[in-house]
């Protein structure tokens, strides 16, 4: 094709529309009614980082934001996971609308979406200010009540500018979230710690949004207080994954160091689209990566033994097996006939793409022993 003709085609409105029709990037908006919130204007902002899609759902009339992962488009079928709840819809021929439903337990919730334009877009909230350092890290008011629906995935939560909510949350979920540990690192819990589900509503202190680390401290204290928990920590040898420098040594590290080495940058994302495991992290330490992997991706604790310091930008893609992405219901089966051969398994991907060694072995791991626990009292 003549280069001039090709250049004209690429710049033409028709080409732009065709390209947009095949993309989910941008802002999608519509109305949705959740059991935990009245009808609200909902806007999903989808962005692409290192080849992977991630998003945020803004419930604009309810001051809440929910993480959106596992975003994929195959043909006209759109799939994503919104705070652990699967969403599936059909993209219109012009790429401007999605007819879809959100699944929450046994319920399906209609959630049609339209692609926002400069003329129709609702105003999205600006990133809230970070919680001031002198504000006590404790919720001002909190309620914990039995969840009316125990069929939803444990750990569906939202964090607004004034409130933290966890929906259908088990005690083991609250503990793993608060202490940033794998469920296998807790010993002495009763059976109901997994089976009982709760609705948690807690008012944030002061003005500003807590960081992940601040929020975890607040959840720790809330759980220990309301469930009457006393505990102590031990070191025990457990089956775990360890992260070490790969066979190429320090010279073989393939991650790029983050330009900003402060603790305020970045963000994390991990997901499993059909047939593909994806992890991208920005401005993250090796401890950040180990934490994310054990909370979301792997079936046992992950211990960083690499000795690497500083912060890195990380991009990893692999073919997941059946033991991965089961922690928070993120595992999606590959489509029929999917060819996974081009993608390596996780261990091989670690060496080839990051220059690191991921090994399943026995390792000393921090374990929290629960000495005393009881169901929460009535609010």
What distance in Å separates the CA atoms of residue 129 and residue 264, rounded to the nearest whole number?
A: 12
Q: Phi, psi (5° rounding) for residue 214?
A: -65, -45
And the tokens for 244?
A: 């070490």
**Domain boundaries defined on the chain:** 24-115, 142-227, 236-333+342-366
What distance in Å separates the CA atoms of residue 311 and residue 303, rounded to the nearest whole number?
A: 17
**Residue 107: what pLDDT?**
75
Q: How many CB atoms lie within 10 A of CB 117?
A: 10
What distance in Å separates the CA atoms of residue 170 and residue 156, rounded to the nearest whole number?
A: 10
Torsion of CA 343, 346, 347, 351, to 10 degrees: 60
Q: How many CB atoms lie within 10 A of CB 259?
A: 9
What distance in Å separates the CA atoms of residue 372 and residue 225, rounded to the nearest whole number?
A: 12
Q: Residue 297: name the closest of 282, 267, 318, 266 by CA.
A: 318
Q: Residue 171: name the closest of 160, 155, 156 by CA.
A: 155
**Residue 47: what pLDDT?**
86
Q: Residue 322: name the closest of 295, 346, 290, 286 by CA.
A: 346
**Residue 303: what pLDDT?**
93
**Residue 106: what pLDDT?**
67
Overall average pLDDT of the 46-72 stretch: 78
What distance in Å separates the CA atoms of residue 62 and residue 76, rounded to the nearest whole number?
A: 30
Tell how strand 77-82 and strand 64-74 pair up.
Answer: antiparallel
Overall average pLDDT of the 256-271 stretch: 54
**Residue 152: what pLDDT?**
57
Overall average pLDDT of the 142-165 stretch: 75
What distance in Å separates the CA atoms of residue 148 and residue 151, rounded to the nearest whole number?
A: 9
**Residue 379: what pLDDT?**
64
Of 148 and 216, more confident: 216
**Residue 280: what pLDDT?**
74
Q: Residue 170 pLDDT more than 50?
A: yes
**Do the Cβ atoms of 329 and 87 come closer than 8 Å?**
no
What distance in Å separates the CA atoms of residue 252 and residue 275, rounded to the nearest whole number?
A: 28
Secondary structure (DSSP) of 272-329: EETTEEEEEEEEE-HHHHHHHIIIII-SS-EEE-S---S-EEEEEEE---TTSSTTTT
Overall average pLDDT of the 346-355 stretch: 94
Show the beta-strand stretches assigned E in 298-379: 302-304, 312-318, 356-372
275-326 pLDDT, tens digit per residue, is: 677 777 777 889 888 988 888 788 899 999 999 988 888 888 888 888 887 7
**Residue 224: what pLDDT?**
95
Overall average pLDDT of the 26-55 stretch: 80
What distance in Å separates the CA atoms of residue 146 and residue 121, rounded to the nearest whole number?
A: 38
Secondary structure (DSSP) of 66-126: EEEEEEEEETTEEEEEETTEEEEEEE-TTSSEEEEEEEETTEEEE--EEE--TTTPPPPPP
Which of helix, strand or coil describes residue 361? strand
CATH 2.40.128.20, applies to 24-115: yes
**Residue 274: what pLDDT?**
53
**Residue 18: what pLDDT?**
35
What distance in Å separates the CA atoms of residue 163 and residue 36, rounded to the nearest whole number?
A: 13
User: Which of these ranges, 75-89, 202-216, 311-325, 334-348, has the smallest mean pLDDT?
Assistant: 334-348
Q: Residue 123 pLDDT more than 70?
A: yes
What pTM value is reported for the model? Answer: 0.65
Q: In the predicted model, what is the mean pLDDT of the chain?
A: 80
Which of 31-35, 52-56, 151-155, 347-351 ranks highest by mean pLDDT? 347-351
Show the beta-strand stretches assigned E in 178-246: 186-187, 198-203, 230-245
Q: How many CB atoms lie within 10 A of CB 348?
A: 13
Q: Residue 76 pLDDT more than 80?
A: yes
């Amino acid at each position: 094709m003549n280069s001039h003709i090709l250049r004209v085609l690429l710049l033409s409105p028709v080409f732009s529309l065709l390209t947009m029709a095949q993309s989910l990037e941008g802002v999608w908006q519509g109305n949705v009614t959740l059991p935990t919130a009245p009808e609200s204007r909902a806007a999903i902002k989808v962005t692409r980082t290192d080849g992977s899609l991630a998003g945020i759902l803004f419930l604009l009339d309810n001051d809440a934001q929910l993480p959106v992962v596992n975003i994929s488009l195959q043909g006209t079928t759109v799939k994503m996971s919104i705070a652990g709840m699967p969403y599936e819809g059909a993209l219109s021929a012009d790429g401007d609308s999605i007819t879809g439903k959100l699944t929450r337990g046994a319920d399906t919730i209609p959630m049609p979406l339209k692609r926002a334009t400069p003329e129709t877009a609702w105003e999205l909230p600006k990133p809230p200010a970070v919680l001031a350092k002198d504000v006590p890290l404790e919720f001002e008011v909190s309620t914990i009540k039995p969840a009316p629906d125990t069929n939803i995935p444990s750990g569906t939560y939202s964090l607004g500018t004034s409130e933290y909510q966890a929906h259908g949350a088990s005690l083991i979920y609250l503990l793993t979230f608060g202490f940033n540990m794998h469920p296998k690192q807790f010993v002495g819990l009763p059976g109901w710690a997994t089976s009982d589900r709760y609705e948690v509503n807690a008012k944030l202190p002061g003005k500003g949004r807590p960081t992940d680390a601040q929020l975890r401290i607040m959840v720790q204290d809330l759980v220990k207080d309301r469930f009457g928990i006393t505990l102590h920590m031990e070191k025990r040898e457990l089956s775990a994954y360890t992260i070490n420098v790969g066979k190429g040594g320090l010279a073989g590290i393939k991650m790029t160091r983050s330009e900003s080495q402060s603790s305020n940058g970045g963000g994390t994302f991990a997901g499993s689209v059909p047939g593909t495991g994806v992890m991208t992290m920005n401005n993250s330490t090796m401890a950040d990566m180990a934490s994310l992997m054990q909370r979301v991706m792997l079936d046992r604790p992950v211990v960083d033994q690499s000795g690497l310091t500083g912060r890195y930008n990380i991009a990893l893609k692999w073919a997941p097996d059946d033991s991965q992405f089961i922690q928070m219901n993120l595992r999606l089966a590959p489509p029929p006939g999917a060819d996974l051969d081009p993608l390596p398994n996780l261990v091989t991907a670690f060496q080839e793409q990051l220059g690191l060694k991921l090994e399943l072995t026995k390792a000393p791991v921090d374990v929290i022993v629960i000495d005393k626990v009881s169901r929460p009292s009535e609010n």
